[in-house]
Structure 1
Amino acid sequence: MPEGPRRPRRGATTIEEVARAAGVSRQTVSNALNAPHRVRPETLERVTAAIRELGYQPDQSARALRSGARRTIGYLAPVDDPLDPNPLMAGFLEALVDAAGEQGLRVLLFRPTPPASDPVAAIDELVAARQVDGLVLADVLSEDARIAHVAGLGLPFVSFGRTAPGQPQHWVDIANDQAMAGVVRHLAALGHRRIGYLGAAEELPWMAARRAGFLAEARRLGLSAVVAERPEVAAVRACLDGPDRPTAFAAGSDLLALDAYEAVRAEGLAVGPGGVAVTGFHDTPLCRHLHPALTSVRLPLRVIAAALVGRLLDQVRGAAVPAAGVELTAELVVRGSSG
């Protein structure tokens, strides 16, 4: 039985052979592997095709020995309950691992070792062990000790969330205020003139931005805005008590939207068209399983993760790093809860 064309044994092909097959220099192949943004798209496509056809597998260990790179990034995982995990951050981690893998990187998760709880000490331990090339931080607060500490160490880092003025602006985030403004415009276009906002009074930066965006857009459109400072079910029911009740609620998260569902129904009203419209934020999987399905703001987690990995790699490689952070647009996914 005749055999088809034999593919080289994985790892047997050299970088020089890839270069010959693609009609480029050895350095161009190296750039395609390590800094694809420096290679013209048509050339990158040709090199990628040659790598795939020849079964070329870069020797990561040899590369690490030559460069001193570990090909590993550390992710300081937020504290969470394994029996009730945060679905947003679980989705972000999935996107981060994929984005790192596309660049030949691993992601090392770490936390302070119990009973210790100081993330700064955990960072120092990881840095002393020389296990990572840089860090990814999330849930960044206005005065975040982790950012100041990592910046002082001179360690490459990026953050999902904005850093304070005067700190390195190595962040990627969504425009939370504009996303919530889009929710207000959506509800106003459906005819709602009195809209409630559900968001805890705590000043988490992203929640503060969503509230500010809600209030600014409601004011611009001449809407009547009601803010539930304590967005528990009882507080939402209080907002619904009386003739001037809101006809819609915009929640700062999908979980807060669940309180709105419960409160609306406890008042004998329906969620959705003909009743009280409800929107959420994050577009977690539960949105699709509610009845009616929840309108929510979807975060572009894969785009966020890719941008974070790209900015971190630029720092590791000593490339020019933009002085400003990256602000991305979120998408409003309309479902039955808002009509």
Structure 2
Amino acid sequence: MPEAAHRPRRGATTIEEVARAAGVSRQTVSNALNAPHRVRPQTLERVSATIRELGYQPDQSARSLRSGARRTIGYLAPVDDPYDPNPLMAGFLEALVDAAGEQGWRVLLFRPARGAADHPTAAIDELVAARQVDGLVLADVLAEDPRIDHVARLGVPFVTFGRTGPAQPQHWVDIANDAAMAAVVRHLAALGHRRIGYLGASEHLPWMAARRAGFLAEARRLGLSAVTAARPEAAAVRELLQGPERPTAVAAGSDLLALAVYEAVRSEGLAVGPRGVAVTGFHDTPLCRHLHPALTSVRLPLGAIAAALVGRLLDQVRGAAPPPAGVEQATELVVRGSSGADPRPRPV
């Protein structure tokens, strides 16, 4: 590489300068960027090294004009409180941006206008009409979610973090919420718990309904005594703990709900952990490590989920046949002091 190539340059490096420095044609540089399979391995390595040395950045706007592609993924962000954001979805967004970036794509974050949360399709229509994105990622998918059929009718490539209905396109990536919660029950049973409780949130959320169903089914299969809190709050957990057959362990449907369990346990003068009431959460958000004792929780593979979503979406953008079924990603149970066992991740 010529010594001049290492010196700071004024202005942006051009593709012609890369070609001269690498001793190849302009077309070869273009092929290395857009169709590397057409370039011999030794030449591709030399061109790639030159691009890195010169700091060349392709003109994405020009490429978009030629191809009609924006190389941009639209993410319809769930409505959230900026002062109390959902830590799971914040982590998912980070993973999605990373997965898109590894493919040379970017993520455009959007959401319905203020006061229009019940009409998210309007925000989708606006984005699609402006031709700002090549495809969409939707999350928090509900039963009979109107966004799914709407986007399918528009003919826009899309994927979902969450399962779509059986009559809808199967472009989803998800975890097996019921199986993950069943693994929590087995973990508690293995520690000797025979009376266990559950604290979940609204049953209209499919993932919460699946977690509750997985908890109850596995408890029945193992012959355990299982009770569920009537309301997603600490007072309802206290009612369970005050009963004649109080549970010795409580599984929560999320890490935030597990905080309510901690509060209820301590309000009853009991300890969280092996000498009191074992507690587990779900999502393995950062707060798990900062609680005392640290919270046992189900970890979601956000990186793998995001990579699968981006891969499936880009396949659609490039004209591949739609997938016949969704994809499940494996979770793992991260065991910590709140359930009184060795802190080692366990595949679920």
**Same topology, TM > 0.5:** yes
2-structure distance, mates of 1:110, 1:178: 32
CA contact (8 A) 2:29 2:47 kept: no
Match of 1:136, SS? Answer: strand
- How far residue 243 of structure 1 moved from its aligned partner, in angstroms, is 3.9
- Is 1:6 aligned with 2:29? no
CA contact (8 A) 1:16 1:26 kept: no
2-structure distance, mates of 1:239, 1:199: 13
Q: Name the residue aligned to 1:93.
A: 93
2-structure distance, mates of 1:225, 1:217: 10
Indicate how the Cα distance of structure 1 residues 164 and 11 shifts in structure 2: closer, same or farther if over 3 A, else same.
farther
Q: Name the residue aligned to 1:281.
A: 282
- Is 1:81 aligned with 2:45? no
- How far residue 289 of structure 1 moved from its aligned partner, in angstroms, is 1.1
1-structure distance, mates of 2:331, 2:42: 30
Matches within 5 A, 1:52-201: 52=52, 55-117=55-117, 118-201=119-202
Match of 1:30 among 29, 34, 56: 34
- How far residue 29 of structure 1 moved from its aligned partner, in angstroms, is 5.2
1:189-236 residue CA offsets vs partner (Å, 9 max, x unmatched): 111111111112422110111111111211221211111131311111
CA contact (8 A) 2:254 2:281 kept: yes
Match of 1:74, SS? Answer: strand
Match of 1:311, SS? Answer: helix
Indicate how the Cα distance of structure 1 residues 51 and 224 shifts in structure 2: closer, same or farther if over 3 A, else same.
farther
Q: Name the residue aligned to 2:234.
A: 233
Indicate how the Cα distance of structure 1 residues 310 and 47 shifts in structure 2: closer, same or farther if over 3 A, else same.
farther
Indicate how the Cα distance of structure 1 residues 126 and 29 shifts in structure 2: closer, same or farther if over 3 A, else same.
closer
Q: Name the residue aligned to 1:337.
A: 338
Indicate how the Cα distance of structure 1 residues 222 and 46 shifts in structure 2: closer, same or farther if over 3 A, else same.
farther
2:277 maps to a residue whose letter is V
- How far residue 116 of structure 1 moved from its aligned partner, in angstroms, is 3.0
Q: Sequence identity of aligned pairs in percent?
A: 78
CA contact (8 A) 1:19 1:26 kept: no
TM-score in terms of structure 1 length: 0.88
Q: Which runs of 5+ in 2 are unaligned?
A: 341-348
CA contact (8 A) 2:87 2:285 kept: yes
- How far residue 25 of structure 1 moved from its aligned partner, in angstroms, is 10
Number of paired residues? 330
- How far residue 302 of structure 1 moved from its aligned partner, in angstroms, is 1.2
- How far residue 51 of structure 1 moved from its aligned partner, in angstroms, is 5.2
Q: Name the residue aligned to 1:305.
A: 306
2:61 maps to a residue whose letter is S
CA contact (8 A) 1:157 1:312 kept: yes
- How far residue 115 of structure 1 moved from its aligned partner, in angstroms, is 3.4
Q: Which runs of 5+ in 1 are unaligned?
A: none
Indicate how the Cα distance of structure 1 residues 169 and 11 shifts in structure 2: closer, same or farther if over 3 A, else same.
farther
2-structure distance, mates of 1:48, 1:191: 58
CA contact (8 A) 2:195 2:249 kept: yes
Deviates more, 1:305-314 or 1:97-106: 97-106
Indicate how the Cα distance of structure 1 residues 49 and 179 shifts in structure 2: closer, same or farther if over 3 A, else same.
farther
Match of 1:211, SS? Answer: helix
Indicate how the Cα distance of structure 1 residues 271 and 155 shifts in structure 2: closer, same or farther if over 3 A, else same.
same
TM-score in terms of structure 2 length: 0.86
- How far residue 182 of structure 1 moved from its aligned partner, in angstroms, is 1.1
2-structure distance, mates of 1:20, 1:248: 68
Match of 1:265, SS? Answer: helix
- How far residue 122 of structure 1 moved from its aligned partner, in angstroms, is 1.1
CA contact (8 A) 1:19 1:29 kept: no
Indicate how the Cα distance of structure 1 residues 7 and 325 shifts in structure 2: closer, same or farther if over 3 A, else same.
farther
1:231-271 residue CA offsets vs partner (Å, 9 max, x unmatched): 31111111111442111011000111111101111111100
Match of 2:284, SS? Answer: coil
1-structure distance, mates of 2:49, 2:221: 52
RMSD of equivalent CA atoms: 2.9
- How far residue 56 of structure 1 moved from its aligned partner, in angstroms, is 4.6
CA contact (8 A) 1:300 1:330 kept: yes
Q: Name the residue aligned to 1:291.
A: 292
Match of 2:270, SS? Answer: coil
2-structure distance, mates of 1:52, 1:7: 10
2-structure distance, mates of 1:42, 1:149: 48
